[in-house]
């Protein structure tokens, strides 16, 4: 997709300590793969480890990359950046915590899309080992206002 900014900041509304994704490895309008390093400023950090629940957010932000890319491709870079309401349909975590400095690769793919609703499947990996499987259901606020 020519002339589309693939930077994390251009595709996600998250900022500060809530912006977890550091690098986009692969992205199109249906799927994304991201890379990140567990940092001490992350939410759920106890100064040594981060609770593995953060893997759900990593999958959600990775999904936000492909869905943000679709928004930009469809509506332009200045399109409304309303957030998504997220429900966790399934989350299987094979670990309890992540050590600081650990590299994580997250993958997300839109499995079902209907208007402003999506079901997204994703995984998180440490090296070649899958440590999380997540299914999210997301809905985006309608950009239409009025009756």
Nearest to 92, CA basis, from 129, 55, 45: 55
Residue count (the chain): 147
Nearest to 88, CA basis, from 140, 54, 135: 135
Strands (DSSP E) found in the chain: 23-27, 31-37, 49-51, 84-93, 97-99, 103-114, 117-126, 129-140
What is the Cα–Cα distance from 133 to 86, expressed in whole angstroms?
A: 16
Neighbouring CB atoms inside 10 A of 120's CB total 26
What's the pLDDT score for residue 75?
Answer: 74
What's the pLDDT score for residue 81?
Answer: 63
**Angle, CA 29 vertex, CA 27 and CA 31 arms, to 5°:** 55
Q: Return the H-helix or E-strand segment holding 133.
A: strand 129-140
Tens of pLDDT, residues 24-49: 999 998 999 999 999 999 999 998 99
State the pLDDT confidence band at 121, using cuts at 50, 70 and 90. Answer: very high
Q: Specify the 3-state DSSP secondary structure of 109.
A: strand
- Sequence ranges of the domains in the chain: 8-140
**Tokens 């930077």 appear where?**
7
What's the pLDDT score for residue 3?
Answer: 61
CATH architecture of 8-140: Roll (3.10)
Mean pLDDT, residues 118-146:
87
């Amino acid at each position: 997709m020519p002339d589309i900014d693939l930077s994390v900041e251009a595709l996600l509304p998250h900022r500060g300590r809530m912006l977890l994704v550091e690098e986009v490895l692969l992205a199109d309008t249906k799927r994304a793969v991201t890379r990140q390093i567990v940092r001490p400023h992350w939410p759920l950090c106890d100064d040594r480890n981060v609770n593995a629940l953060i893997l759900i957010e990593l999958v959600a932000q990775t999904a936000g990359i492909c869905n943000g890319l679709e928004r930009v491709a469809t509506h332009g870079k200045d399109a409304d950046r309303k957030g998504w309401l997220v429900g966790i349909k399934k989350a299987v975590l094979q670990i309890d915590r992540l050590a600081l400095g650990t590299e994580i690769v997250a993958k997300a793919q839109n499995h079902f899309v209907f208007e402003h609703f999506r079901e997204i499947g994703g995984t998180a990996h440490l090296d070649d080992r899958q440590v999380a499987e997540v299914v999210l259901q997301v809905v985006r606020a309608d950009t239409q206002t009025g009756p």
